[in-house]
Structure 1
Amino acid sequence: MEYLHLGRTGLAVSRLVLGAWNFGKVTTPHDSHTLLDTAWQAGINMVDTADRYGHGASEEIIGTWFSQGGRRREDIVLATKVFGAFSDRPNDGRLSARHIRQAAEASLRRLRTDHIDLYQMHHVDRATPWEEIWQAMDLLVTQGKILYVGSSNHAGWHIAQGQENAHRRRSLGLASEQCLYNLAERTAEQEIIPAARAYGLGVLAWSPLHGGMLGGILSPKAEPGKRRREGRSLLSLPGKRAQIRAYEDLCATHDMAPSEVALAWVLNRTAVTAPVIGPRTTEHLQSALRSLPLRLDTDFLEKLEKIFPGPGPAPESFAW
């Protein structure tokens, strides 16, 4: 397993991040623990979840796994998120100082730990000023309850706002941005990734298979039960069917699995620290691990670029 520093921090994280979105929702607690053990033994040292995943169930499953001991907690870089509401009460949810404090305490209880390594804002809160957000986050850092702060689903100018405000406070600011990024969805290349690079943030790419659409969804060899035809795949496939067909044909010509090529492509992007994978089974996890040594040559990358052209940098992509 290879490791990279998360942005400009001294924190070393594995090139694959185990995402726990499915824990408690699709994957049973027992199978989730098997995935955690398999990932840990393979050298994956970062686990990503959120307080709202499974309405808290994902964090609880990870917390139970930590309680088994054996250096599980010590070895893992634990990332979770704050923003979502658990009720319709007026101060539940978003990024007020009050909610950040309450949500962090609740996550710590569910995760059975005394600190969160990377506490990520799951979405931008346009109603709360950055001064208030950083006041709450800096307090949690001072108390030792979180070590680093990250953003997720933020625009490039949100990242700039947050970092400039943090710099004025003489604090570290954001360590990372977790954004949607894959072969089929490259909008992040316009402003999010350039902003992250400019401010020294690590980039964690969520949905590297675009909800399974890049995992061989059209292949007749795919078992019907394993085809992802819901969520992001269902919404995106109709408009991208021709591209996906060309993509799967290219992978077949080179005798490579589409899912592994999609992950290898993300890993090949120099701005990306790691993709966040969301395996439902150990077979999916083993496939993801096989993408690590996969090297895509220049000719193959050029063919991928023709199938899935990027948007180009901003502002040139929409101006002269």
Structure 2
Amino acid sequence: MDYVRLGRTALSVSPLCLGTLNFGVRTSVDEAYDLMDAALSQGINFFDTANHYGWQVHRGLTEEIIGDWFAKGGGRREKVVLGSKVCNSMSDWPNDRGLSMRHIIAACDDSLRRLRTDWIDVYQMHHADPHASWEEVWQAMELLVQQGKIRYVGSSNFTGWSLAAGQERARARNNLGLVSEQCLYNLVNRQPELEIVPAAQAYQIGVLACSPLHGGLLGGGLRKLADGTAVKTAQGRAMVAIETRRADIAAYESLCARAGFDPAELAQAWLLHRPGVTAVVTGPRTMAHLDAAIHALKLELDNDLLAELDQIFPPMVSQIPQAW
């Protein structure tokens, strides 16, 4: 595994980050344990979760599964760079959500308990909170760092201007600030190229690209729908996108067949080649999905192939005002 630095930090992470959204919901507990063991054995040391994952059963379930896995020992916790998130609602009570200082600190303590660990490596704000000032957010995060409960702070689903605002307020406080931004980024959704990636590059914030297959759509979605084997492609953002992008997906699957690439592997390999991307957050349901992600690390994409992908899924750089 060739490790990379997370943003401007000295922290080494694998360019594949194990996403755990499926754990306890679409993937059983035992399967989740096997996936984490397999990922770690392949050198994947970066795991990502969130405090509300598993909400279909109960909020916090996925963190509990990871915590039980850590408790198995064998240096599991020590080897893993762990990211979790805060902001989403954890109950119906008004202060059990958002980015108030009260909730950030209480949610961190709750996550540590579920994860059965003393620290979270990258504590991420899952969404921006329009009611929370950066002064309040940084005061909470600085306290958690001082207490040794978190090491770094990241964001998720933020805008480019939010990244800039957060970093400028952090600088004013002599604070390291954000080290990562996790965003929805894939061939179907190249919107982060407009402002998020440029802002992240300007501030040396690592970009973590999540949903690399756009909910399964880029993993041979049309073929799976035709075969009746689709799982994630038959729901969520994949089903929404397929209504308007069917021709593009058909062209992509045709290109993959002609070039001899597995669609899921090519989609993740493309992201691994993108400027500014530190890691791809892959969320396997099965061992085969994990194997495909690992194989994507080994793919070499030539300029002709990249140009064909740009023709099917045009870059959004032409929409940046400076390019007009």
TM-score grouping bracket, smaller chain normalisation: over 0.9
2:154 match: secondary structure = strand
Is the contact made by 2:225 and 2:234 (CA closer than 8 Å) also made in structure 1? no
CA contact (8 A) 1:163 1:173 kept: yes
Match of 2:22 in 1: 22
TM-score, normalised to structure 1, is: 0.97
1:251–1:162: structure 2 CA closer, same or farther, 3 Å change rule?
same
Alignment pair present for 1:309 and 2:314: yes
Whether contact under 8 Å (1:208, 1:262) holds in the other structure is: yes
Task: Count matched residues.
Answer: 319
Residue 45 (1) aligns with residue 45 (2): yes
What is residue 207 of structure 2 aligned with on the other side?
A: 203
Q: Cα distance, 1:221 vs. partner?
A: 9.7
3-state SS, counterpart of residue 225 of structure 1: coil
- CA-to-aligned-CA distance 1:183-228 (integer Å, 9 cap, x gap): 1100000000100000010000000010000000112697523452
How many Å separate the matches in 2 of 1:215 and 1:107? 32
Name which of 297, 300, 304 aligns with 2:305.
Answer: 300
TM-score by length of 2: 0.96
Residue 279 (structure 2) aligns with? 274
Corresponding residue to 1:133 among 131, 137, 150: 137
Deviation at 1:87, TM superposition (A): 1.4
Instruction: Indicate the SS of the match to 2:188.
Output: coil
Shift, 1:270, TM fit: 2.3
CA deviation vs aligned residue, 1:48-103 (integer Å, no higher than 9, x gap): 00000011010000000000000100000000000011212121100000000100
Matched, 1:236 2:241: yes
Give the 3 Å change call, closer, same or farther, for CA 222–291 of structure 1 in structure 2: farther
Quote the residue 1:10 is aligned against: 10
Out of 147-156 and 85-94, give the one that drifted further: 85-94
Structure 2 gaps, min length 5: none
Q: What residue identity is the alignment partner of 1:89?
A: W
Distance in 2 of aligned mates of 1:247 and 1:314: 23
- The one-letter amino acid paired with 1:239 is T
Matching residue's letter, 1:238: E
What runs of 5+ residues in structure 1 fail to find an aligned partner?
Answer: none
**Which of these residues, 92, 98, 101, is aligned with residue 88 of structure 1?**
92
- Distance (whole Å) between structure 1 residues aligned to residue 235 and residue 292 of structure 2: 21
- 8 Å CA contact 2:101–2:140 kept in 1: the answer is yes
Identity of aligned residues (%): 55
| C-alpha contact 1:189 1:313 (8 A) present in aligned 2 | no
1:47–1:162 CA distance, 2 compared to 1 (3 A): same
For residues 220 and 79 of structure 1, do their structure 2 counterparts lie closer, same or farther at Cα, with a shift above 3 Å needed? closer
Please point out which of 78, 91, 104 is paired with 1:100: 104
Match of 2:163 among 159, 164, 174: 159
